[in-house]
Structure 1
Amino acid sequence: MFSPRKTDPFFAALLEIAEHVQKAMHYANDFKVTSVADLKEVSIKLKEYETQGDDMIHDLIAKLNISFMTPIEREDILQLAIKMDDILDGIEHFSANLEMFSLTDIDEYVQKFMDNIVKSSDEIVKAMGLLSKKKLVQMRDHAVLIKEYERICDEVLRTSIKQLFLREKDPIRIIQFKDIYELLEDIADHCQDVANTLETIIMRNA
């Protein structure tokens, strides 16, 4: 079904989107916030990543609309692109809320979420690299890892909210941090959506 000699332009585009998501996630995780001004800088930069990601998705959709043949189902290509875009939207929304709430003192739970989400973005890039080489079966290991990181984030969400209500007395801070935790869990869910789509592609084509 696939030519082993040439990278399909749709697979190349998906890999480029995945690498863009990875860069955004690493940028958000690596930036050391110490002030409200730092929050603003991160928010602006992640908005740029999100806007660039939208442009990449639009380009891919335009190619799909004019292409007679695609290497896998059009719906699967589109689903992968949209789910990766959801990750970008999520991290941009997360950073915007940090800036809106002026939350410079993120806790260990936010860091645990971020660590696992960043690992998921790394696995997505590895999987898309294999897709671009038409090595579909090998993608499964990366999909399994992404799902494991999402499972860890589920546990972090339960623990973080429990501890939030036990430790925090300020109702406004409770609302703010609960919102932040749930936004991060949503991002982990979007990563899992990518993994589910990868497994669908393996089932249909391998």
Structure 2
Amino acid sequence: MNLGCIVGLKEWIVPQDKAFFDLFEQMADTVNEGAVFLNVIINNYVDVQNQCHKMKQIEHQGDLIAHQVYEQLNRTFITPLEPEEISRLATALDDILDYIDGTTQQMYGYGVTETDDFMKELARLILLSTQEVQTAVRLIRKLDDPRAVEQHCIEINRLENLADVVLGNAIKSLFATNDAITIIKLKDIYENLEVATDKCEDVANVLSDIAIRHS
């Protein structure tokens, strides 16, 4: 067997830690970019069509990275994490961005003309959650401090609970009005913003499982 074959075989069987963790960090960064831009849109609700187009580009970038994760998984014989963990984490990260993008597209499609304090607060909680996700994802590269991962996961869960409260207050306020069409539109938007925090919690659950299993 020549040297080239030996090197090729080594690349095939050795866990490609860097590739997977680099991709996860890129995904987390892209998710956070989407959350940052969501706050820009909601707090400065102008030129919505172009803003939604920019958000779609961010979402598309997240899809591309997720696809790279799946491709890498399909061609890597030995992985640094369980294949199921890799797949679950990629899917959970992608789901956050899908809901962030989907809600902005929904706002434009519904013809929403202005945002309100409930939307702004939910967007803020989404951003705080994605920042925690960013940090926690970086910690699983080495996992020398599983408790640190768990602390970020606990904070994500706390933020999701706060989002539940905001949603409840938003729905209560909404049903105090008489405009049925507005109720339907805004209820969908509030709920989908809250689901984005649920998806952050899904990521936290995957990260917590990884921290426990590999500590």
TM-score by length of 1: 0.92
Q: Distance in 1 between matches of 2:188 and 2:119?
A: 11
Is 1:202 matched with 2:203? no
Task: Note the C-alpha offset of 1:115.
Answer: 0.7
| Residue type of the alignment partner of 2:102 | H
Correspondence for 1:159 among 156, 169, 179 = 169
Equivalent positions of 1:111-122 (< 5 A) are 111-122=120-131
**Aligned match of 1:76:** 85
Structure 1 segments, 4+ long, off by >6 Å, are: none
Q: Distance in 1 between matches of 2:17 and 2:190?
A: 39
**Aligned match of 2:21:** 11
Matched residue count: 198
- Larger C-alpha radius of gyration, 1 or 2? 2
| Residue type of the alignment partner of 1:33 | N
**Aligned match of 1:3:** none
Correspondence for 2:158 among 148, 160, 172 = 148
Output the aligned Cα RMSD: 1.4
Whether the 8 Å CA contact 2:129–2:159 is kept in 1: the answer is: yes
| Residue type of the alignment partner of 1:110 | M
Task: Note the C-alpha offset of 1:8.
Answer: 2.4
Correspondence for 2:36 among 26, 48, 60 = 26
Whether the 8 Å CA contact 1:116–1:149 is kept in 2: the answer is: yes
Q: Distance in 2 between matches of 1:64 and 1:154?
A: 35
Correspondence for 1:52 among 38, 61, 85 = 61
The percentage of counterpart residues that share the same residue type is 34
Whether the 8 Å CA contact 1:39–1:102 is kept in 2: the answer is: no
Whether the 8 Å CA contact 1:7–1:133 is kept in 2: the answer is: no
Q: Distance in 2 between matches of 1:195 and 1:131?
A: 12
Is 1:171 matched with 2:180? yes
Task: Note the C-alpha offset of 1:12.
Answer: 1.4
Name structure 2 gaps, 5 residues minimum: 1-15
| Residue type of the alignment partner of 1:162 | K
TM-score by length of 2: 0.88
Task: Note the C-alpha offset of 1:161.
Answer: 0.2
- SS in structure 2 of the partner of residue 22 of structure 1: helix
Task: Note the C-alpha offset of 1:104.
Answer: 3.0
Q: 1:197 to 1:132 in 2, by over 3 A?
A: same
- SS in structure 1 of the partner of residue 140 of structure 2: helix
Name structure 1 gaps, 5 residues minimum: 1-5
Task: Note the C-alpha offset of 1:136.
Answer: 4.9
